[in-house]
Amino acid sequence: MHSTMMLLGVWFGLLTLTYTLPVKNSTGVHEGKVRSKRRYSDEIDPDEMNIMDQILEVNNRLRAPRGLAIRDGDIASSYLQSAITCAGNTCLWPKSVDGFVYVPYLLSPLYDDMDRITIETGMQDISAGTCIKFVPRTHEANFLDIQPRYGCWSFLGQTGGSQTLSLQSPGCMWSGVASHELMHALGFVHEQSRSDRDHYVTIVWNNIVPAYIHNFKKQVTNNLNSPYDYSSVMHYGRYAFSDGSGPTIIPKPDPYIPIGQRDGPSALDLHKINVLYDCGPTE
């Protein structure tokens, strides 16, 4: 009788274990799947998400803020001042006599310490290899007003006055996302928007959600005599704006070249900033 009770107890214990553990686990797996399903494409391996994939994930349901339009996924333009006019060498931040380009910024008090560190790391990743210095604003008339608005987005180049750069928390809290948006503010468009992109990538128009086809328009860009950079922090991911039937961007001639990355500005990104801002030789 006693041993039967014990056996029953063990059996019941095991039953409870088998029913609690796997249920918990499978819920986790299920949540993961649901989460990746919510991405604009369920073909992206979460481990391979690059900076732009993360931005589009956050901006997925972004409605443009009042008075603004968002194009190419994360570039803001106002109806009054078209950011597209910044695509050339206009709208650059001015160079100081000491050879540095100071970009004043305000960080919203809504950010916590971790957020500030992440954003400042994104700044330092640019500053470390270029003549761009992001400095807390004191009295400057033109500055970046960095706020946790809805989504990750920026204007293109210097617009004059206070210009919002949105880094939502926690969605945009990757230093690479901060670097990406800061590079828009420095005047850079997405890498696959370059005027010469058709030599380097095939855009698979049939796989793009029709409403987003405009996000693949080429821009008139100054390519700064620099090679096309598949690993630019400004490159869309392979499945950007895919309708689920396959990749939207295929590198050529080798379709397996990895595109975009998640760490931060590439060596070529920094090189291009140096050329655009005429930084001179840097270490």
**Binding region for Zn(2+):** 180, 184, 190
Taking CB under 5 A as the binding criterion, the range among 39-47, 71-79, 132-140, 200-208 that sits at the site for Zn ion is 71-79
Give me the torsion for CA of 74, 195, 122, 271, rounded to 10°: -170
Closest to Zn ion by CB, 137 or 231: 231
Q: Which of residues 160-189 bind Zn ion (CB under 5 A)?
A: none
Strand partners, 164: 145
Residue 208 near residue 184, CB atoms below 8 Å:
no
To the nearest whole angstrom, how small is the minimum distance from the Cβ of residue 74 to Zn ion? 4
To the nearest whole angstrom, how small is the minimum distance from the Cβ of residue 138 to Zn ion? 29
What letter represents residue 235's amino acid?
Answer: H
Closest to Zn ion by CB, 74 or 269: 74
The contacts of residue 55 (CB under 8 Å, 6+ apart) are: 73, 74, 152, 172, 177, 180, 181
Residue 74 found at the interface with Zn ion (CB under 5 A):
yes
To the nearest whole angstrom, how small is the minimum distance from the Cβ of residue 168 to Zn ion? 14
Question: How many CB atoms within 10 Å of residue 125?
Answer: 21
Quick one: DSSP state of residue 186? H
Closest CA to 183 of 263, 50, 80, 92: 92
> What proportions of the chain, in percent to the nearest 5, are helix, strand and coil?
35, 15, 45
Binding residues: 180, 184, 190
Tokens of 170: 């926690």
Q: Looking at 120, 181, 191, 283, which residue is catalytic?
A: 181
The span from the CA of 186 to the CA of 132, in Å, is 9
Tokens of 184: 């828009």
Taking CB under 5 A as the binding criterion, the range among 21-29, 66-74, 105-113, 270-278 that sits at the site for Zn ion is 66-74
Closest to Zn ion by CB, 103 or 240: 240
Tokens of 278: 């005429």
181 is catalytic: yes
Tokens of 171: 């969605």
Q: Give the total of residues touching Zn ion (CB under 5 A).
A: 1
Residue 53 found at the interface with Zn ion (CB under 5 A):
no
Closest to Zn ion by CB, 74 or 125: 74
Closest to Zn ion by CB, 148 or 260: 260
Question: How many CB atoms within 10 Å of residue 137?
Answer: 18
To the nearest whole angstrom, how small is the minimum distance from the Cβ of residue 209 to Zn ion? 18
On the CB side of 37, CA atoms within 13 Å amount to: 6
Residue 191 found at the interface with Zn ion (CB under 5 A):
no
The span from the CA of 62 to the CA of 56, in Å, is 9
Taking CB under 5 A as the binding criterion, the range among 72-80, 110-118, 143-151, 196-204 that sits at the site for Zn ion is 72-80
Taking CB under 5 A as the binding criterion, the range among 11-19, 69-77, 120-128, 273-281 that sits at the site for Zn ion is 69-77
Closest to Zn ion by CB, 57 or 74: 74
Residue number, nearest CB to Zn ion: 74
To the nearest whole angstrom, how small is the minimum distance from the Cβ of residue 59 to Zn ion? 9
Binding residues vs Zn ion (CB under 5 A): 74
Cite the active site residues: 181
